[in-house]
Structure 1
Amino acid sequence: MRFEYFAVADDETAALTIDGGEIDGSVGSHVVDPASVLGQLERLLGGPVGDDGLRSAQLVAESADGARLVIRLSNHLVSLFGMVRPATLDDVVKHWSLSRRFRRADPEDLNAFAAGLNELCKGSGKRVYCRATADEAELAPARTPVGVGAGVGAGVDGDPEEPRPLPRRR
């Protein structure tokens, strides 16, 4: 998955990015999932301990083929992360990077991402969103034709007309 974080005025404007075009001023990542990984960041910054991360993000739009989602980050997360000072950002990222999700991530990439997201979250009067785009490899199985007998490649409930859901990230 490719995750692009950006700030715009409202949900309607954010939903217009579903077409996959370039987003000015976006901050990108391949590992910072807006639900699970940002939920970890929110808890680290003082968010609810029992939260599974899904309150950190809300779906705004989905492309017809399911390849792209636009997700709004919670006001709470944006407010908390926007208050992190540049002097303490490295310490926050150091603790955040202990997540097993970042095992293979380059620490410099995570620091650069966090600095960019921190700037997006600072009182710009705009909401912060993420456009998640599936990689071609993740979409290929959903486009596979129905196999003979076992229903290989079938979509939802074995219906070849229904696309398979995107694989859940663990």
Structure 2
Amino acid sequence: MKFEYFTVPDDEAAALTVDGAPIDGSVRSQVVDPASVLGQLERLLGGPTGDDGLRSAQLVAESADGARLVIRLSAHLVSLFAMVQPATLDALVGQWMLSRRFRRAAPEDLHAFAAGLHGLCRGAGRRVYCRATADESELAAAAAPASPASEADGAEPRPLPRR
């Protein structure tokens, strides 16, 4: 998946980005999933410890083919992250990197992402969103016709792989 974080004034403006057009000023990542991974960040910042991350993000729009989702980050997460002082951002990212989800991520990429997201969260009067786009390989696998054996079994098509 490709994740693009951006700011706009409201859900309606965010939903207009579901078409896949370029987004000015976005912060991109291949590994920072807005639900589960940002939920971990929210817990590090003092959010609810029993939360599975789903309160950290809410679906705003989905493309007709299911290839793209637009997700709003919770106001709580945005305000908590905006309060982090730039001088302590590296220490916070160091703790965040201990997550098993970041085993293959380059530390400098996660630091750059965190700095970019921090800038978005500190912006005034706008909400922070993420557009998640499925990789071409995931789309091809989902669009592939079902095998005759699975059609005969009445099996449902398989959903896109989740990360």
Shorter-chain TM-score: what band? over 0.9
Residue 53 of structure 1 corresponds to 53
The residue identity in structure 2 corresponding to 1:168 is R
Deviations 1:21-79 (A, max 9, x none): 10000000000000000000000000000000000000000000000000000000000
Question: Take 2:151 and 2:81, find their aligned partners in 1: how far apart are those partners?
Answer: 46
| Equivalent runs, 1:125-144 vs 2, <5 Å | 125-144=125-144
Question: Take 2:19 and 2:123, find their aligned partners in 1: how far apart are those partners?
Answer: 27
More deviation, 111-120/134-143:
134-143
What is the Cα deviation at residue 124 of structure 1?
1.4
Deviations 1:74-99 (A, max 9, x none): 00000000011110000000000000
Deviations 1:127-169 (A, max 9, x none): 00000000011111211112222339x9xx746xxx6432121
Name the % identity: 75
Stretches of structure 1 that go unaligned for 5 or more consecutive residues are none
Is the Cα contact below 8 Å between 1:81 and 1:121 reproduced in 2?
yes
Question: Take 1:149 and 1:168, find their aligned partners in 2: how far apart are those partners?
Answer: 24
1:150 counterpart = 2:144? no
Aligned length: 163
Residue 11 of structure 1 corresponds to 11
Stretches of structure 2 that go unaligned for 5 or more consecutive residues are none
| Equivalent runs, 1:97-112 vs 2, <5 Å | 97-112=97-112
Residue 162 of structure 2 corresponds to 168
Quick one: higher RCO (CA 8 Å, sep 6+), 1 or 2? 2
Question: Take 1:81 and 1:23, find their aligned partners in 2: how far apart are those partners?
Answer: 22
Is the Cα contact below 8 Å between 1:66 and 1:165 reproduced in 2?
no
The residue identity in structure 1 corresponding to 2:45 is L
Q: Could you tell me the TM-score, scaled by structure 2's length?
A: 0.95
Residue 37 of structure 1 corresponds to 37
- Indicate the SS of the match to 1:150: helix
Question: Take 1:149 and 1:109, find their aligned partners in 2: how far apart are those partners?
Answer: 44
Question: Take 2:79 and 2:42, find their aligned partners in 1: how far apart are those partners?
Answer: 10
Q: Please identify which structure carries the higher helix content.
A: 2
Question: Take 1:62 and 1:151, find their aligned partners in 2: how far apart are those partners?
Answer: 27
Q: Which runs of 4+ in 1 moved over 3 A?
A: none
The residue identity in structure 2 corresponding to 1:65 is D
Q: Give the CA RMSD over aligned residues.
A: 1.6
Question: Take 2:15 and 2:150, find their aligned partners in 1: how far apart are those partners?
Answer: 38
- Indicate the SS of the match to 1:33: coil
